[in-house]
Chains A and B, each alone.
Chain A
Amino acid sequence: MSEAAHAHHTTTGVENRKFAMWVLIASECFLFGTLIANYLVNKGRSISGPTPQQIYEIDITTLSTFDLLMSSVAMVLALHYCKEKDLRKFQFWTFMVVLGGVIFLGFQYHEFSTFVLKNGLGLSTNIFGSSFYLLTGCHGAHVTVGVLWMTSILLTSLIKGQEWFNSEIVEVAGLYWHFVDVVWIIIFTVVYLFVYV
């Protein structure tokens, strides 16, 4: 029934931007699918070290996973308060999303710099490193885009104040953010926790 109510707006019965975001997510399934498959194929094919077993810091990565999960909670709360038209709480939780994203990028910066400086694993040192940086780097790029997007929403809200509660835009940004989180859930398990497999 709810679909019928929407139908006079769009032909799919769903708001167009939301539909487009899900189509993008469908496309991203293949993007990250390729990257993860490439990592799994190549992680044990290096001719020289270092190997994943030698360098992964699972404890720190678990912390950054917590951080990303928490930013997802912040995202869903931001959307909730946007729909409730509660400006303060909306802006607070949007800020928390940005903060969570930035902290995650900080963790990634720490990880990459440790790998490069301490472990001597550059982009082209071995094929494990190349595949690892390509996969996690691409995910990091997605987080960066998400941070930029949420920052833009926060700034727009700060400038326009009470009159700007565009929950459709926030919802679409939220879908993107949660998807990036979901990809990390997979990467955390398949890349990091399966390191000895």
Chain B
Amino acid sequence: MATAHGNHNDHKHGEHAHAGPKLYWIFAVILCVITFIEWIIFKEKEAWGISNTVMIWTLLALSLVKFIMVCGWYMHLRFDSKVLTNIFVFSGLLAMAVFLMMKLSLPSMG
């Protein structure tokens, strides 16, 4: 048990080295920059001649990056038990699959 505890503490120290206030602030800046880029893309879509498809996938990719940053570091899934990541990823993907299927099954209109 003692060795397990020792390792546990080491792990905790590692966590602090990876994710301290400095990193949180760097991430905050990145999150803001991404949001700013999203906003610019939205604003300048016509001027830059971006097609709808490109815009949709770019914005989705950008928000996915934000999503992963918040979940992985701010919610420290990266440093926590894999059980938690599995719970979240499983339910999130299942919800997406279910509602995508529902949307596709509904008669399209409008």
The interface of chain A, by Cβ under 8 A from chain B, is 1-6, 8, 12-14, 18-19, 22-23, 25-27, 29-30, 33-34, 36-37, 40-41, 44-45, 58-59, 62, 65-66, 69-70, 72-73, 75-77, 80, 174-175, 178-179, 181-182, 185-186, 188-189, 193-194, 196-197
Contact = CB atoms under 8 A, between A and B. Distances in A.
B38 A1 contact: no
B52 A197 contact: yes
Interface size class of B (residues with CB under 8 A): 35 or more
B81 A182 contact: no
Nearest to B11: A2
Given A36-B99, A44-B110, A181-B70, A5 B91 contact: no
A30 B31 CA distance: 25
A99 to B, nearest CB: 16
Nearest to A183: B67
22 contacts: A5-B8, A6-B8, A8-B1, A13-B83, A25-B91, A26-B87, A29-B88, A34-B99, A41-B106, A62-B35, A66-B35, A69-B32, A73-B28, A73-B74, A77-B24, A175-B75, A178-B75, A179-B75, A182-B67, A186-B67, A193-B38, A193-B42
A108 to B, nearest CB: 17
B42 A58 contact: yes
A8 to B, nearest CB: 8
Contacts, number: 137
A30 B7 CA distance: 37
B contact face: mostly helix, strand, loop, or mixed: helix
A22 B59 contact: no
Nearest to A28: B91
B52 A185 contact: no
Given A76-B73, A194-B59, 15 more contacts: A1-B4, A13-B83, A18-B84, A26-B88, A26-B92, A29-B92, A29-B94, A34-B99, A41-B103, A45-B109, A66-B35, A72-B74, A73-B31, A181-B74, A189-B62
A2 B8 contact: yes
